[in-house]
Structure 1
C-alpha cells in the first residue's frame, strides 16, 4: 500500500492514513501522508503465533496431497473465528467514538482505499458511505477474484486447493469440496462474528459479503501471466506486479560482495515476514547446502547464526530484494512464495526455488512451477541433499531461466504499467464519485435467481403440467373409445 500512497501523493493527492498505534510496519509520521491512530489489533506476540502455526502446517504437509490441503484450510478456519470477532469489536470501538467519527466525517474524504483482507476499512468505509477501492489479493475465505467474478469450479481452482485449470474427475471433486468449505467458512465462521455490529449500525439484511461486493473498484494484485485464465468483471482491475521497479544500484559493500562471485553469480534467499520461522534443523540444512555452492549467497536471516554456514554466505537482517533480483549476477531466488516476491522474480526474470510456509504461498509456487519457472521444496522433508539438488537444478538448467524470462517479457508487455493502471482507477472513482455503473447486477439477486433455479423449476413445472395434461387427455380419449367399442 505504501507505494500506491507515495504515487498518489506525488500526483497532488492528500492522503490520510488510519493506523494502529501498535502497527508492525506503519510509522505515525510520514512525508506523504498524515495519520490518525485508531484501535486495531496488531501486537508483536502475533508474530510468534504465526511461527507456531507454521509448525502445524508442516505437520499437515505430511499427509497425502488430497488431505493436506484440507488440513491447512482447517488451520486457517480455526483462526478466522476469533480474528473476525476482534475485527468486529475494533470497528465497533471506532464507530462508538463520537470525537473520532466527527473528525472523519468533517474531513469529507473522497475515497476509502483499503485491503479487505482485514475488514475494518470495508466496514468503516461503508458506514461513512464513501466510494471504495480495494487493493486486494486475499479476502476472508479465499482469493479476491473468486469473490467478485464468476468462478466455475470445473476449471477455476479454489484458493488453497493447489490445483490447476485442467482437472480430472478426482481433482474437480477436491475443488468442489474446497468450494463447499469456503462457503461454510463464510456463513458459519466469518459473517456471524459481525452480526451484532450489523444489527446496531447498518441497515437490516446487511452482511459482510454484500459490503465487499459494493466496492467500486477491485485492484487485484494478479496478472494472467501468473494466474490461470478465468472470467472477470468490469470493476476488477489486474495490477499484479505494481510494486516492481527497475533495479537500483546496491550499496558499495553489497556490490563488492556480489562482484566477488565472478562468473558463478549470486543466489538470493528471503522468507519475507516469516524470516525467522523455520526450525533450527532446517536452517542448518539450508546453510550446509549453500556452503557447497560455487555461487555467493545473500540470505535475509534473523536469529542465531547457523553452525554450518559457509564463507560464501552473507547474512543480512534486511536486504534490497528487488535490487538484488534485478542484478545481472543473480542466478536464483530462494523464496517462500509470497505474491510480491513472485512478481518481482517474474519482473526481473529470475527462476525460483520455492519453500512455501503458509497461506497462498503453496498456490503461488504451484502456478510458477507449472509454467516451468520454479521448483518447490517441502519444509517438512528438507535436508541438505535434496535442497542442494533442487538449487543446483534451478541454477544449471537453462529451461527455468528461459521460462521465467518469457514470463517477464509477457508481464512487461502492457499498454500501461500496473502502477499507472492502479492510480488511474483510483482517480477515476474520485472524479466520478464512484463507479456503480461497472458493478454486476448479479450480486443483487438471490442465489436461486442467480443460478436460474426458479426458472428451471418453472420450466419443469410447466413441462410436467403439459405432460400430465397430455397423458390425461389421452387416457380419457382411449377410455371413451374402449367403452364405445364394448357397447357395440
Structure 2
C-alpha cells in the first residue's frame, strides 16, 4: 500500500487559512492510495516464441506500479526500476520438431512428454534455479507460470510463497489441462489444438478427435503427471515443502489461466470464469519502418510479400526439396519478397533476405499484400490483426489446426510440406493475390479483432489484479475442478443405473421363468 503524502499536503494547505478539510483530505487519500503488488514470473523453461506474449503483460503490470520479478532466459526489451530481471541460461534443446508431423497419436504424445520431462529436469537441476528455489525469501502476491507446457511441476511455487498462481497456456484447447481447470469440452465440437482438423468435422474427424483425447488422457494421467510430480518432489525442496498437496490438486487450484487464443481466427469455446482468452497481448499498431525498408516496400509497384517461418521452424530441419521449391517459385513471382531466414543461399533479384525483420510493422504496412507463414499462433494473430491474407505451410504441432482454421475463414490457402513444389507455391500465391475475397475476409477478421471492448493486454492486467485483490478469486472456479473424470462424465451414475436396470431385468426374467415353470407343472398335473 502506497500513499503519496505530497498530494495530502497540497489538499491540506489548499483550504482557506490552512483550515483542515476532512472531506478533501479523505478524497485525496482515496485518489493517491494504490496497491503495488509483488509478482513473480517464473519462466526458466519458456521458448522465445512462448514468452513473446507474456512479457508485454509483465511490463504493463510494472508500468502501472506493480513490482515484477521475472526469471527467464529472455531479457525484457525495456528496463523499469520496479521490474527485476533474473537471467538464467537458455537450456531448452533445439529439437527438430518438424519430424513429428506424421507420427501416430500415441507416438506424438509420448515424444512430447519425453521432451518435456527431459527439458524440465535439465532446467530444474541447474544451480542458479536450485539456489532460487531453496533460498529466496521474497514475498509475492501472485506467481505466474507456464503451467500448461512442460512446467506442471512449477506449481509448487504457489505453495512455497503462499500465493495464488496464474497460468499462461501458450496454445489453444488442451483437454487434459482444461479438465483440471473445470472445462473439459466435447471432442466432437472442439478439437485438441494438435489435431489436423478445424471446426468442420465429419464422422471420421470426430472419431479421430475422440481417439486422440482418450490417448492423451491415458498417457498424461498414468505416466506424464506422475513423472512431473517426481520432478517436483526432487527439485522443489524448501522450508515446509513436505506439507504441500499433490501436484494434480495444486494444478486444480490454479486461480486463473490465460490462453493464447482468439476466436476471430480460432475455435469458439464456452469458458468458465477462471479461463480467459488473451491472444495477441504482444500485438501493437504498426510503427514506422526504418527508412531503407520503408522505401523498399513503398516503391514496390505490385506490393510486397513477407515470408517467415518464425523462430522454431527452420529450413535446416526440412527436406532439401522444400527450400528449392521456394527459391524456384520466388523467381516466377512479380512481387518483391521480404524473406526472414538464416539460410545463406543465392536468391532471385526480387527477394530481400535478412535474419530479422520487424514483422508486425511490415504486416501493418499498406503495401504488404501477402504473408507466407508456417501458421504459428503468433504469426496467425498478427496476420489477422493487420488484415493480411496468407499462404500457409504448417510444420508441426498446433500449426496444422491454425492454418486449417484460417483457411476455413477464407483468409488464405494451405500447402503441404510433403508434396510442395514451385508450381504449387506460385499457384497458391496467385490465387490469394488474384481473388479479392481473401483480402476482404482478412479485413473483416481484422475489424473483429480490433473492435473488442477490451484489448487482450487490458484483460490480462485486469484479471491479474483481480485475482490478487480477491486472494486468488477461487470463487471463479466451477465445481467441476473438484471432480474426477469418472464423476465429471457421470460414469459412476451410469454404472449404478446400468446395474439397477440389469438387476431389474434379471429379476423380471427370473420371475417370468418361475411363473412359466409353475404353469407347466400345473398343466402336467391336470
Band the TM-score falls in, shorter-chain normalisation: 0.7 to 0.9
CA contact (8 A) 2:61 2:461 kept: yes
Quickly say closer, same or farther: Cα 1:388–1:144, change in 2 above 3 A: farther
Distance in 2 between the 1:436 and 1:82 partners? 32
Deviation at 1:4, TM superposition (A): 0.9
User: 8 Å contact 1:137–1:144 — kept in the other structure?
Assistant: no
Counterparts of 2:109 and 2:484, CA distance in 1: 28
- Structure-1 residue corresponding to 2:26: none
What residue in structure 2 maps to residue 33 of structure 1? 83
**In the alignment, structure 1 residue 301 sits paired with structure 2 residue 350:** no
What is the CA RMSD across the aligned residues, in angstroms?
3.1
Alignment of 1:94-133 (within 5 A): 97=130, 100-103=133-136, 106-116=137-147, 117-119=149-151, 121-133=154-166
Q: Which residue number in structure 2 is paired with residue 374 of structure 1?
A: 412
Measure, in 2, the Cα distance between the counterparts of 1:89 and 1:285. Answer: 38
Structure 1's 287 and 483: CA in aligned 2 closer, same or farther, altered over 3 A? closer
CA distance in 2, matches of 1:94, 1:217: 30
Give the 3-state SS of the residue equivalent to 2:67 in structure 1: coil
- Partner Cα distance (2:487, 2:207) in 1: 25
**Structure 1, residues 211-261: CA drift from partner, whole Å, max 9, x if none?**
333211111111222222333222111112222221111111111101110
Are the equivalent residues in 2 in contact too, given 1:285–1:383 (CA < 8 A)? Answer: yes
| CA deviation after TM superposition for structure 1 residue 342, in Å | 0.5
User: Using the alignment, how far apart are the partners of 2:428 and 2:129 within structure 1?
Assistant: 55
- Give the TM-score taking structure 1 as reference length: 0.84
Whether the 8 Å contact between 2:258 and 2:278 is mirrored in structure 1 is yes
1:319-398 equivalences in 2 (<5 Å): 319-398=357-436
- Show structure 2 runs of 5+ residues with no match: 1-53
The question of 1:290 aligning with 2:330 is answered: yes
Matched, 1:455 2:493: yes
CA spacing shift, 1:319–1:146, aligned 2, 3 Å: farther
Name stretches of at least 5 consecutive residues in structure 1 with no aligned partner: 61-67
Are the counterparts in 2 of residues 77 and 189 from structure 1 also a CA contact under 8 Å?
no
Residue equivalent to 1:257:
296
Distance 1:316 1:144 in 2: 38
Contact map agreement 2:373 2:391 (CA 8 A) in 1: yes
CA spacing shift, 1:316–1:144, aligned 2, 3 Å: farther
Aligned length: 462
Distance 1:355 1:123, change over 3 A: farther
Deviation at 1:324, TM superposition (A): 0.8
Partner SS, residue 315 of structure 2: coil
Q: Is the 8 A contact 2:124 2:130 kept in 1?
A: no
Give the distance between the partners of 2:501 and 2:516, measured in 1 at CA: 22
Q: Distance in 2 between matches of 1:484 and 1:301?
A: 94
Structure 1 pair 274–486 and aligned structure 2 pair: CA distance change class (3 A): closer
Give the equivalent residue in structure 2 for 1:426. Answer: 464
Match of 2:480 in 1: 442
How does the TM-score come out when normalised to structure 2?
A: 0.79
Larger radius of gyration: 2
* CA displacement, residues 429-474 of structure 1 (integer Å, 9 cap, x when unaligned): 1111202111122232232222222222222333344444555556
